Amino acid sequence: MRFVMYKISLSLVYKIRIFQENNFTMRKTLTIGVIGLAAVFISHAQDSSETAPATYEQCSFFMKTPPLRDLLETIEPIDDSAYYANHSAKPVNPMRYNIPENLTEEEVEALFEEDPTLQTINGSKTNGGYRLQINVDGQFGAFPPDPTGAAGIDYFVQSVNSTYRIYEKEDGSSASGVYFLNSLWDDPGDGDPIVMYDRYAERWFISQFYGAGGAPYGVQIAISTTTDPLGEYYLYQFDYTLFPDYPKYSVWSNAYFMSANVGSADCSAFERDKMLVGDPTAGVIKMNFPTMPLIFNSIAPAYAEGAAEPDADEPCYFFAVQDNGLSGISTDHIKVMKAEVDWDNPETSSVTVSQELNTAPFNALFAGTWTEYLTQKGSSQKLDAIPGIFMYRAQYRRFGDYNTVVLCHNVNVGGNRAGQRWYELRDNDDGNWSIYQQGTYALADNNNRWLGSVSMDVLGNIAMCYSFTGPDHHPGIRYTGRFDGDPLNEMTVPELTAVEGEGAQTLAGRYGDYSQMSMDPTDDYTFWFTGQYLGTGGSRKTRIISFSSWNIAGTEEAEIRIAAFNAYQPAPDQLMLKWKDVDPNEEVRIEVYEMSGKRIITEKISGDHDQVLVNLPKLVKGIYVIKFNSGDVNLTKRVHLGW
């Protein structure tokens, strides 16, 4: 549904509209497969032998907003709990699923293979697990709420269908009211938002799609002009021939990538370099994934996080769940694809299969109707398991001589009980991926763990948050993890509870659709997560939590200390640099270089400080390299500078 919003029309001073003809044809293919005794319709990505070349299209709309804090002063914030009590429905798009209805338990059980990675015993790490820092309620949401959020320098930004709110990182308090996403854009959108913090450019990314009720179709993307989420934004709109349902976005060096649950142009690369500087000619390269049996076309793009950005010419990797319960798949595996884009010759861009990584057996199919699988306390209504797709995000991180990707997806561990299959993939900085470790987390307690999100910190520690429900539990949120050096293939941290559910969902099976974990860019050790849980009466609530590997629960005095620094631009002529855990007896030296290698700034500061504000010379907008030295500590960071 389209939501009513309180807003003012933005001045034409801020607006440039760019209209163009869509002069290429897209095709959609449909194939039929068989699972067991049941006839099944499975969506395939476009057949690479018939796929037209990639196409480049300029954005159809551009504008620059005034500062958001000024704009919001003219808009009445909403009471989201009251609003969503009266606006419960979100259109259910028939493309969301491409699996058969009413598979019987017998048909599903006939496909089962023993899962040798099943973890049924709780972690036994004697000193507990990660220490919870922030644990607060987020916004209420539509049905489903699609919660998404990310941490920046000082704020956490959360969005749901179809509102957003800004929170103080320090204590989780609100830094803004609750506002409709459509207060950002002059044209109304329909939700499925994604929030990202691009740490390499120090900018916010907020998106939503439009066209849920019918054409025209497309996506809207807002890019902040600074690290301040209440500042100005560049707004872009990109049109699509088909509805880009259930989009998944990622930050990469040469583009913002998106996949969508659509039969054509299901892989997109948005022109990041132009969008970051507010270029109204920014465009998108539209491509098609190779053919494969899929339950969803929303294939997970690698989302770069950590101190080191991917190389400028490095392809972005995509990862697809391949269950041998689907026709045409003989062995459970992960299909790895790489998207290679050429902005000078967009038609040569493509997505190709690079590897197939055989996994331990898993079972992704559930028995039941379209979205009704998982048992919850207090209602006969079953909840959606969202099977057969890697959940958001596929986090990518560089570690010197190797790179990692961590992934998770929902699996059926028997009797329509959901568990979390998770993986750590590694390559030797050469694009040849292998499975370093994997496991299925489903403790022996008859409860469901699903809708997970997994991330790795700078130390190699892994955390995984997920929704939790069962015959004796209302839907809540729990989390676990492991520390680098622990036995492989095991979540060693005892399961922890973020929030217990307080009621049951009775309206229908759709639940969550999204959850999201990300790392704090100021230290790279603190995990931030947002997801859905149910309040009293089954109210659709969300939670925001953060927890860290700086301190391990149960060891107050034991602190892991790794030197880190961060840099961002608080004003056009200023550069703020902050650092932590360096020797106070050592002098700090900071140098800023142009990409050509020319040094433009040198600063020396005594080690008993933890930050410095540097006055910048007049800069050309672009990427700069900052080198940080203090004793034995040598760190490098690439940042986007210039307003």
DSSP conformation letters of 71-91: HHTTS----HHHHHHH-----
Residues 251, 256, 257, 258: is their CA dihedral positive or negative? positive
**Tokens found for residue 258:** 């998106």
pTM: 0.84
Q: List the Cα angle 160/161/167 in 5-degree steps.
A: 25
DSSP 346: G
300-327 burial: b if 16+ Cβ within 10 Å, else e: bbbbbbbbbbbeeebbbbbbbbbbbbbe
CATH 3.30.300.30 fits 12-73+78-552, yes or no: no
Among residues 390, 362, 387, the alpha carbon closest in space to that of 372 is found at 387
pLDDT of residue 21: 31
Helix (H, G, I), strand (E, B) or coil at 59: coil
In sequence order, what E strands does 98-190 have? Answer: 118-119, 130-137, 148-151, 155-160, 163-168, 179-180
Pairwise CA distance, residues 333 & 325, whole Å? 11
Pairwise CA distance, residues 198 & 251, whole Å? 6
3-class SS letters over 482-494: ECCCCCCCCCCEE
**Tokens found for residue 524:** 């790279």
Please state whether beta strands 55-58 and 283-287 pair in parallel, antiparallel, or not at all (unpaired).
Answer: antiparallel
- Point out which residues pair with 548 in neighbouring strands: 131, 526
The answer to whether the beta carbons of residues 509 and 459 sit under 8 Å apart is no
CATH 2.40.70.10 fits 570-641, yes or no: no
In sequence order, what E strands does 211-295 have? Answer: 217-224, 233-240, 245-251, 256-261, 267-270, 283-287, 293-294
How many residues appear in the chain?
A: 643
Helix (H, G, I), strand (E, B) or coil at 126: coil
The answer to whether the beta carbons of residues 551 and 527 sit under 8 Å apart is no
Among residues 227, 247, 255, the alpha carbon closest in space to that of 315 is found at 255
The answer to whether the beta carbons of residues 231 and 67 sit under 8 Å apart is yes
Torsion of CA 103, 504, 420, 442, to 10 degrees: -100
Pairwise CA distance, residues 369 & 104, whole Å? 9
User: Residue 496: how many CA atoms within 13 Å on its side-chain side?
Assistant: 23
pLDDT of residue 523: 85
* Beta strands across the sheet bearing 55-58: 55-58, 283-287, 267-270, 256-261, 245-251
Indicate the burial class of 638 (C-beta count within 10 angstroms; 0-12, 13-18, 19 or more): middle
Domain(s) of CATH 2.60.40.3080: residues in the chain = 570-641
Among residues 329, 319, 316, the alpha carbon closest in space to that of 298 is found at 319
Domain(s) of CATH 2.130.10.10: residues in the chain = 12-73+78-552
Computed on alpha carbons and rounded to an integer, the radius of gyration of the chain in Å comes to 23
Residue 634's CB: how many other CB atoms inside 10 A?
11
The answer to whether the beta carbons of residues 526 and 519 sit under 8 Å apart is yes
- Point out which residues pair with 180 in neighbouring strands: 163
Please write the tens of the pLDDT for every residue from 520-576: 998 888 999 999 999 999 999 999 999 987 544 444 444 445 567 777 777 778 888
124-160 burial: b if 16+ Cβ within 10 Å, else e: ebeeebbbebbebebbbbbbbbbbbbbbbbebbbbbb
**Tokens found for residue 177:** 């009211």
Q: 118: which residues sit within 8 A by CB, 6+ positions away?
A: 413, 419, 440, 442
Pairwise CA distance, residues 528 & 152, whole Å? 10
Pairwise CA distance, residues 643 & 278, whole Å? 9
Pairwise CA distance, residues 581 & 565, whole Å? 9
pLDDT of residue 439: 98
Residue ranges of the chain with per-residue pLDDT less than 70: 1-51, 87-101, 126-129, 550-563, 642-643
DSSP 348: G
Pairwise CA distance, residues 603 & 610, whole Å? 13
